[in-house]
Structures are given as C-alpha cells and as structure tokens.
Amino acid sequence: MSATFDRRRIPAPEHSTPPIYEPLPSSSENEAGPSRRTDRGPLESRPIFLKTGLISQANGSGYIESGGVKIACSVYGPRPKPPPYSPQGSLNLEVKFAPFASDPRRAPLRDTEPLPLSALLTQSLLPTIHLHLYPKSSIDIYLVVLESDALSNVLSAGLTVASAAVADAGIDMYGLGVGGVLMDKSSVDGGVGVGVEEDGLLLDPSKDEETRAKGMIVVGSMPALGKVTNLFLTGEVDVDQAVDMIDKAISASKETHTILAQALVEGAEERGIGPVPAA
C-alpha cells in the first residue's frame, strides 16, 4: 500500500468503499421482469451530440455525448518530434478517465483500464490518417472521459470523436473513422427477444444490456470508403452471426458518419471557413 503512496496528489484515506445500497424490495424485481428496450428499437442507436473546436488551446478538438458517455478530445500536432529521424509521422493516443467518470470512482494510479483502451483506439484510428505525409512529426491525441457507461460505448464514441478532432486539426485522412457497437443477447435472456427482435441483436447497448450480452462486437470503420479499420469481438458468437453483426454495425455507422460530417461542416463554418466551392 504505502509503496504506491502518491506525493503528487492530496492524500486520501488508505481504504474507502463506494456506498452500498439497501437491497431492492423483492416484489419490484419480479414486476420489472426481464428487461427489454422500451425507449428505442433494437437496431436504433441513442442520439449523438458532437461538436468540434471547443478546446481553443488545441490544434483540433471534439466533444461527444452519446448515450451515457461524454468524451472531450483534443489533437496537438503535427508537431516536430525530437530525433531520431522517422520517415513517417507517429501517432500518440492517450485515454484518461476523470475520477468521477464512472461508478465506482476511478482512483488515479489504480485504474488499469485506460491502457488497453488507448491501444485499441490507436489501432482503430491508425489506418484513417495519412501518416506518411508527416515525417519527423508526431500527432498527439488526448481523450478525457468525463462520464461513461458501457466500455464498448466509450470505445466507439472515442473513435468517432477522435477522428472528428483529427479532421478539425486539418490533418490529412483517408476517411473519417466511426465506431459502432452491436451485441448479441439471443440465448442469455432465454428467448425473450423472440417475436419482437427476431435475431436478438441490439445496437448501441446500454450498461445494463452489456452485462447480459452473450457476445459483443465493436467495429471501427470508414463508411465513406466502405472499409473496416478494427474489429473487437468478445464473447461467444458463431461465424455467420459475427458476419451479420459486422454488416449491421457498419450500416449503423453510416448514420454516425453523417452526424460526424455535419458537425465538421458546422465547426468549419463557425470558424469562418466557408463551404468548399464545387470544383
């Protein structure tokens, strides 16, 4: 314990636990029954709010609210990189959670989740950027998660907001990367979905839904080019269904792509850069 004593922050008591709530009255649990989405269709995603250019200090920035996720992202660069010489630009991406961003609280230093998340996001974003145009430079992308629900949603919203910020910074890209999440709940709920949701697939799952998922897939894609940049599948899904899930996630990503493109145009107009005249 004392080995990891943190002198750079105001010390907290060595041990503290998040509040434990009294159990729910058992009757209400029964009444609720197996939960099903009531607010939207199974293949409908939650509304997305996306805005670019809010962080004035950065070369490019974006802010996204998607379901229970709020992420701010800023891009610094391309900025000169110290030697050794590199023929390609390098991409550094760091995800950070605000301590209050999730339940329970994420204590700084004890939080191990951001690292793999940063690696995954880097992989999703890497194919979208023309790094060969930026020799001897680095592009630094920082994401701060202010509120989060499901981790898959953080990943997909993170990719969307990061490519918005990169585009806002005026960095050349092949296409805009967009994230999509799809989960399969078919057998876990004991066939609840039968009738209403024929194949038991859910787009953009909430945290409750994610915990009951049988399998889940996060797809990073460039809808404008029809290309997939990264796939992240967890759980147990057979091949045919996985392909079906990818297809559905990609077609859902097209809608997000429209929102992203719209946000970029609005951001450019606010900055006083008019629409590009048709050649």
Which residues bind to another protein, rule: CB under 8 A? 6, 8-13, 15-22, 24, 54-58, 68, 70, 72-74, 76, 79, 94, 96, 98-105, 108, 140, 142-144, 146-148
Minimum distance, C-beta of residue 16 to another protein, in the bound complex (Å): 4
Minimum distance, C-beta of residue 149 to another protein, in the bound complex (Å): 8
How far is it, in rounded angstroms, from Cα 80 to Cα 185? 48
Minimum distance, C-beta of residue 44 to another protein, in the bound complex (Å): 21
3-class DSSP state of 253: helix
The residue among 27 and 239 lying less far from another protein, judged by its C-beta, is 27
The residue among 125 and 237 lying less far from another protein, judged by its C-beta, is 125
Question: Which among 72, 50, 49, 53 has a CA at the least distance from the CA of 168?
Answer: 53
- DSSP-derived secondary structure for 47-107: PEEEEE---TTSSEEEEEEETTEEEEEEEEEEEE-PSSP-SS-EEEEEEEE-TTSSSS---
Planar angle of CA 68, 122, 179, nearest 5 degrees: 40
Instruction: Provide the strand spans (E) within 185-243.
Output: 201-203, 215-222, 227-235
The residue among 74 and 256 lying less far from another protein, judged by its C-beta, is 74
Minimum distance, C-beta of residue 174 to another protein, in the bound complex (Å): 23
The residue among 167 and 217 lying less far from another protein, judged by its C-beta, is 167
